Structure 1
Amino acid sequence: MTLLSTRLLPSITAMAVIVIASNILVQVPFTPFGLGDVLTYGAFTYPFAFLVTDLTNRWYGPAKTRQVVYVGFAVAVVLSLVLADARIALASGTAFLTAQLVDVTVFNRLREGSWWRAPLVSSSLGSALDTAVFFSLAFVGTDVPWVTLALGDFAVKMAMALVSLVPYAGLMNAMKPSGALAR
């Protein structure tokens, strides 16, 4: 394993843990404040996948970030098939891969602008896509109130995209970008 690929292990590990946790937690209604029909606990964990993607993109560029997405996707889907419902795991994998690759592309196009624009816009677009794909694949045709859950999930993802700007700002300069960023 090269030094650079070894450096990607924390991102890959974080990505897999976030997705697996989210796949388990999306099956658990968020009952405080009577929100069980509108929200699941997975809405609070999954947005951190966008933070991992955006920081990895900032530090290593889009080519290495795509590697993190692909490996994180593979690990998370395999483990989710064991730890979560198969329909959830497959819907999650499809939504994750689509949304994260959109996030990488949009972030990279906006990376030279204001420090907050790339992570906020890419996470917002990725979150919208992830929500639409995941909830429609995971719950359509079931008695789960998936449209209201999707709306609640998306609202939390938007709030988390804003909140995630704080750790993003603190961590984005923790490591210097590695040389010329490969596209």
Structure 2
Amino acid sequence: MIRLLPGILAMAAIVVASNVLVQILFGQWLTWGAFTYPLAFLVTDVMNRVYGPGPARRVVFAGFVVGVICSFVGTQIQGEFGPLVTLRIAMGSGLAFLTAQILDVAVFDRLRQGRWWRAPLASTLVGSTVDTAIFFTIAFSGALAFLEPGNDVSWANESLPLLGLGPTAPLWLSLAVADWGVKLALALIALVPFRLIVRRMTVQVA
């Protein structure tokens, strides 16, 4: 477990930072948390490459526990419009993180024998897509209002042009597409640190 400590600490730091930065808007469609959270996939993929799928899943579970704690703390803090973290956001965040990260581990492991960039890129793209779909649907879709009847998400279901340019769609879809776009961009950028970190850690492990 000691060998996994750097990965666990990095994952915990990313989860905590993302939970804080998601409260700060970046432009019209994003929050600052959108730029830190995708790094969780980088940590998972590095752990998977260096130590294998089992240890990678343990790092994911540690991040999930930290996320649950952050969500609980957020439910106790009152903001301008109520708790900083609603039940639907907590549910969406936890389920999205765990599902997407475990899927990332599985896809990476299936492709680990290919070119060095194939596994991290494919697993992160798949995981990021699933993560975005699960979180935004559970947290904001009007169709799931029964999950938390007291939580008014009508603001997220206001019909507006997609990203201000496309066809009319609920606001939360624009938020989801913008978030997904950042994840895809960072999946490509993260290939550079992935390669460098894996090389260094492989030498240390050897």
Deviations 1:93-124 (A, max 9, x none): 11000000000000011111111010000000
User: Are 1:128 and 1:154, in contact at CA under 8 Å, matched by a contact in 2?
Assistant: yes
Gaps of 5+ in 1: none
User: Are 1:12 and 1:68, in contact at CA under 8 Å, matched by a contact in 2?
Assistant: yes
Corresponding residue number in structure 2 for 1:109? 110
Offset at residue 176 of structure 1 (A): 2.1
Aligned pair partner of 1:53 in 24, 36, 44: 44
Counterpart amino acid of 1:19?
A: V
User: Are 1:99 and 1:127, in contact at CA under 8 Å, matched by a contact in 2?
Assistant: yes
Identity fraction in percent: 55
Structure with higher Rg: it is 2
Q: Equivalent residues in 2 for 1:135-174 (5 A)?
A: 135-141=136-142, 142=153, 143-144=155-156, 145-174=171-200
Offset at residue 135 of structure 1 (A): 0.9
Offset at residue 168 of structure 1 (A): 0.5
Distance 1:170 1:113 in 2: 18
Counterpart amino acid of 1:30?
A: F
Deviations 1:17-68 (A, max 9, x none): 212222332333212xxxx1x2221210111000000000011100111111
Aligned residues: 170
**Which protein has the bigger strand share?**
2
Runs of 4+ in 1 over 4 A off after TM superposition: none
TM-score (norm 2): 0.77
Question: 2:74 aligned with 1:74, yes or no?
Answer: no
Offset at residue 159 of structure 1 (A): 0.2
Tell me the SS of whatever aligns to 2:136.
helix
Counterpart amino acid of 2:124?
A: S
Counterpart amino acid of 1:100?
A: Q
Aligned pair partner of 2:20 in 11, 24, 39: 24
Corresponding residue number in structure 1 for 2:128? 127
Tell me the SS of whatever aligns to 2:3.
helix
Counterpart amino acid of 2:100?
A: A
Q: Tell me which of the two structures has the higher relative contact order, counting C-alpha pairs closer than 8 angstroms and 6 or more residues apart.
A: 1
CA RMSD, Structure 1 to Structure 2 (Å): 1.7
Offset at residue 7 of structure 1 (A): 1.3
TM-score (norm 1): 0.86
